[in-house]
Amino acid sequence: MSGILVQGVQMLLVLLLAPLLTGFVRKMKARLVRRQGASVFQPYLDLLRLLRKEVVLADNASWLFRVTPYVTFAAIWVAAALVPTFATGLLFNWTADLIAIVALLGSARFFLALAGMDVGTSFGGIGASREVMIAALAEPAMLLVVFCVALVAGSTQLSTVANFMASSYVGLRVSLGMAVIALIMVALAENARIPVDNPATHLELTMVHEAMVLEYSGRHLAMIEFGAFLKLLLYISLIACVFLPWKIAVFGTGPLSYAIGAVAYLVKLAAAGFFLALFETATAKMRVFRVPQFLGAALMLGLLGTLLLFVSKSF
Q: From the CB of 143, what's the least distance to other proteins, in Å? A: 4
φ, ψ at 58 (rounded to 5°): -65, 150
CB-CB neighbours of 300 under 10 Å: 14
Q: From the CB of 27, what's the least distance to other proteins, in Å? A: 26
Cβ nearer to other proteins, comparing 240 with 291: 291
Residue 54 DSSP one-character state: P
Q: From the CB of 259, what's the least distance to other proteins, in Å? A: 27
Cβ nearer to other proteins, comparing 40 with 299: 299
Q: From the CB of 21, what's the least distance to other proteins, in Å? A: 19
- Asked if 84 and 237 touch (Cβ cutoff 8 Å), the reply is yes
Residue 148's alpha-carbon distances to 15, 161, 222, 227, 309, in angstroms, are 29, 11, 36, 27, 7
Q: From the CB of 265, what's the least distance to other proteins, in Å? A: 22
Closest CA to 239 of 139, 132, 149: 149
Cβ nearer to other proteins, comparing 35 with 52: 52
Q: From the CB of 70, what's the least distance to other proteins, in Å? A: 5
SS3 assignment, position 87: strand
Cβ nearer to other proteins, comparing 211 with 277: 211
Q: From the CB of 233, what's the least distance to other proteins, in Å? A: 15
Cβ nearer to other proteins, comparing 69 with 273: 69
Cβ nearer to other proteins, comparing 115 with 184: 115
* H or E element in which residue 298 lies: helix 291-311
Cβ nearer to other proteins, comparing 158 with 194: 158
Q: Which residues pair with 249 in a beta bridge?
A: 87
For 193-258, what is the HEC assignment? Answer: CCCCCCCCCCCCCCCCHHHHCCCCCHHHHHHHHHHHHHHHHHHHHHHHHHHCCCCCECCCCCHHHH
